[in-house]
Amino acid sequence: MALTREQIAGIAYLARLDLTPGEAPVYQESLSRILDFVGQLARVDTASVAPMAHPLAGLAQRLRADQVTETDHHEQYQANAPTVAAGLYLVPKVIE
């Protein structure tokens, strides 16, 4: 399964990853080889097998009571943000 340079660029775009010109051919080669390697799964007969998403089969997700349990920590959380003003996270202008 050889991926093209264009496919690598498309995957990087979907993943929101800026690749340097040097990185693209490296990932083209290694992702192609990884897909070849995992491609061996296609030969396994799984016609009657249900997909397994996690190991806790039979356990239902819990629900919690609809009660307020958390208090406001936004200042503490925003201390980790690159840029904040007036309690808001700042990003480049989205709408012209």
Window 8 to 47, contacts with another protein (CB under 8 A): 8, 11-20, 23, 26-27, 30-31, 33-35, 37-42, 44, 46
**Least separation, in Å, of the C-beta of 80 and another protein?**
4
Residue from 6, 53, 71, 72 binding another protein (CB under 8 A): 53
Beta 84-85 vs 88-89: how paired, if at all? antiparallel
Residue ranges that bind another protein, judged by CB under 8 A: 8, 11-20, 23, 26-27, 30-31, 33-35, 37-42, 44, 46, 49-56, 59, 61-62, 64, 73, 76-83, 89, 91-94
